[in-house]
Structure 1
Amino acid sequence: MRAVVYAENGPSDVLKLVEREPREPGPGEVRVRVVVSGVNPTDWKQRQGSPVDGEAVPNQDGAGVVDAVGPGVEGLLPGDRVWTMMSAHYGPLSGTAQEYTVLPAERVFPLPDGASFDLGASVGVPAVTAHRALTVAEDGPSRLAPGALAGRTVLVPGGAGAVGHAAIQLARWAGATVISTVSGDAKAELVRAAGAHDVVFYTRPDAADAIRRAAPDGVDIVVEVAASANAALNASVLRTGGTVAVYGNERGGGALTLDFGANLFLNARYQFLVLYTLAPSALRAGAEDVGAALRDGALPVGADAGLPLHRHPLAETAAAHDAVEGGAVGKVLIDVSAP
């Protein structure tokens, strides 16, 4: 089989296309023939900075077809269409930038009829991150379903990104009113296509007033991609007892400075989140709810749905990583094998 590997950290030219034998699945494991691999910022960051001992295969997300199952696996059979999550995190050779990958069954999920492999490869890290952000409020739901966020207002900065796009869609599916902040007209069109009720340009001096007009009682949840840059704005629009769920610090450094008094009297909650150290039960809950949203057709991708797709063949995995690192707007996908 063909696989993309790297044996040292560095720029994308450390990625090499090689031939290797696929591994047999062990107890509790599933072998997936990968059709499409999805690329996330975490993939190029891991390639650049996470220590590697021997060879590693990149990419956390993918979609394909179950090829074989190991002893003890229930609910998955050869021929099933599936999507995967946190694949490269399972082991150095388990990433999705290869024709076959072996994963634990708990990281492989059914891909509903009607959902494309492109969609399956797009939802893993972004959608489960968005799910976590929408379910950490002290007085909010721990699971998402239609109506779970009814009466709530969600603010999604950077709604044109993959996580922001999924947050808009999941929040709408769960019944929330969604506001998104963007930098300009092109991204405003994307977040409207994703389903945002209101769009605000964060570059304008009246951004807080515009958000307050859309949410007079304040915002319940902020799905935050730029914690430092947006700290003052969040404090001015958050309702008392509201939550800022932080998954990124774009346009900021390694530190986050908060106005103590403003956040104190708001009883504001800042909840940081990353999937790598999340409890398995929370990952499973996120994947199950994302699966339900997929079945309901609530997570479409593509330009018409606000998330343009950019394609590369497996041999050009380095270019796919460069595109994500360079800030490509939309979702970068790698075509690995035939559907």
Structure 2
Amino acid sequence: MKAIVYRDNGGPDVLRLVDRDLPEPGPGEVRVRVAVSGVNPTDWQARSGPGHPKRFPEVTPHLDGAGTVDAVGEGVDPGRTGQRVWVFMAAAGRPTGTAAEYTVVPADRAVPLPDDAGFDVGASLGVPALTAHRALTVAEDGPRRLAPGALDGRVVLAAGGAGAVGHAVIQLARWAGATVVSTVSGPEKARLATAAGAHHVVDYREGDPAAEIRKAAPDGIDIVTEVALGANLALDLAVLRTRGTIAVYANEGGKPVELDVLPHMVLNTRLQFLILYTAGQDARTAAVEDVTAALQDGALPVGEEHGLPLVRFPLARTADAHRAVEGHTVGKVLVDLTT
């Protein structure tokens, strides 16, 4: 089979297209014939090295993907063979991710994909959708699970609504009944956030963004899902309601976070940091179940008309796919293994 591998950390040029033997699923595992592999920032960060020491002599990258189960290991229902699935955390703690024609994963990391959901949708779930679910379910006064009505009466601020996680936040929050406000950095991204389903979109580079957000949420924001805490904390604090939550999944731009403690004490702010790897099995299982329910309801479409443009590369150009993600290409970067 064809696979992308790297043996040393470094830039995109360390990625190589190679031939490898077809992997065999072990007990509790399934083998998936990959149709589409999703690329996330964590994939290039793991490849680049700093803070992500390489644990295996050779690594096939990418956590997310979608395809078809073509073999199962001992203890797995043989009836899963032929099942269309979306895959998450494929390369988490393992040397083989989805940047290959076939990958082997624990059976619970290959989730059935509804018949009317394409592989592009499946490959776009994983890290973005599960992260969005976690961000929307950590509030002190909020639900631990998402379903229609779970966020009725709540107002969610999706920072960076044109990004993959921001897009998933908008869609999941809308599906769960929230009013959704999104901040963006320009009119094109505003168009995408609106297409994703945001009720109100605010350009944080123009005018008084706090005042604009307050117009949409006069009682304050219940949950902020934050992609750039260092840059946005002052704005978040200006619009947060008492006992509101700032759920932080990234700090894009790397600006140091300066925390004025007293205003947060007065508000009883919950500042919640999150990452899927250490969220715990219960949280991940709940996220998978709820994301699957939203998917079955047709709440998670992708494509430019739905606010998330798809940027595609063939397997042989996976290095270019990584460059696109590193360069903050707007949309979801996918590696297509069907071409």
Misfit runs of 4+, over 4 Å: none
State the alpha-carbon separation in 2 of the partners of residues 227 and 315 from structure 1. 36
Asked if residue 81 in structure 1 is aligned to residue 74 in structure 2, the reply is no
Amino acid at match of 1:228: G
Deviations 1:283-329 (A, max 9, x none): 11101111111100000000000000011000000000000000100
Say if 2:138 and 2:272, in contact at 8 Å, map to a contact too. yes
AA matched with 2:18: V
Q: Secondary structure at the match of 1:35?
A: strand
The residue that corresponds to 2:313 in the other structure is 312
The CA deviation at 1:259 is: 1.8
**C-alpha displacement of 1:337:** 3.2
Give, as a single letter, the amino acid of the residue that structure 2 aligns with 1:7. Answer: R
Which secondary structure state, in structure 2, belongs to the residue aligned with residue 88 of structure 1?
coil
Counterpart Cα distance in 2 of 1:35 and 1:257: 44
DSSP-derived class of the 2:162 partner: coil
Q: Take 1:230 and 1:265, find their aligned partners in 2: how far apart are those partners? A: 19
Query: Match of 2:61, as an amino acid?
Result: P
TM-score, scaled relative to structure 1: 0.97
What amino acid is the match of 2:83? D
Report the Cα distance in structure 2 between the residues aligned to 1:137 and 1:74, rounded to whole angstroms.
Answer: 37
What is the CA–CA distance in structure 2 between the aligned matches of 1:252 and 1:13, rounded to whole Å?
24
Q: Report the equivalent of 2:152.
A: 150
CA distances 1:18-72 after superposition (whole Å, capped 9, x unpaired): 0011111111000000000000000000000122231100000000000111111
What corresponds to 1:250 in structure 2?
Answer: 252
Calculate percent identity across the aligned residue pairs: 65
C-alpha deviations, 1:178-208, integer Å up to 9, x for none?
0000011000000000000001111124100
Could you tell me how far apart the structure 2 residues matched to 1:33 and 1:75 are? 16
Q: For 1:335 and 1:41, locate their aligned partners in 2 and report how far apart those are by CA, in whole Å.
A: 18
What is the count of residue pairs matched by the alignment? 336
Of 152-161 and 66-75, more deviation after overlay is shown by: 66-75
Report the AA paired with residue 75 of structure 2. Answer: G
Q: Distance in 2 between matches of 1:111 and 1:75?
A: 17
Gapped runs of 5+ residues in structure 1?
Answer: none
Q: Is the 8 A contact 1:232 1:259 kept in 2?
A: no
The alignment status of 1:70 with 2:73, answered yes or no, reads yes
What is the CA–CA distance in structure 2 between the aligned matches of 1:76 and 1:267, rounded to whole Å? Answer: 50
Aligned to 1:25: 25
* CA separation of 1:240 and 1:212: change in aligned 2, threshold 3 A: same
| SS of corresponding position for 1:221 | strand
- Alpha-carbon distance, 1:260 to partner: 1.2
Q: Tell whether the 8 Å contact from 2:72 to 2:78 is kept in structure 1 after alignment.
A: no
Give the SS at the match of 2:313.
Answer: strand
Counterpart contact for 1:307–1:331, Cα < 8 Å: yes
2:155 counterpart of 1:169: no
Distance 2:287 2:150 in 1: 14
Cα RMSD over matched residues?
Answer: 1.1
In 1, Cα distance between the equivalents of 2:338 and 2:97? 15
Q: Distance in 2 between matches of 1:107 and 1:284?
A: 10
Distance 1:63 1:75 in 2: 19
* Contact 1:241–1:266 (CA under 8 A) maintained in structure 2: yes
In structure 2, how many angstroms separate the alpha carbons of the residues matched to 1:74 and 1:102?
15
Partner of 1:267: 268
Aligned equivalent of 2:38: 38
Q: How far is the alpha carbon of 1:75 from its aligned partner? A: 8.4
Partner amino acid for 2:244? G
Deviation at 1:241, TM superposition (A): 0.3
Could you tell me how far 1:281 is from its partner in structure 2?
1.3
Which TM-score applies when normalising by structure 2?
0.97
> Is the CA contact (8 Å cut-off) linking 1:63 and 1:83 kept in structure 2?
yes
> In structure 1, what is the equivalent of residue 122 of structure 2?
120
1:179-218 correspondence runs (5 A) = 179-218=181-220
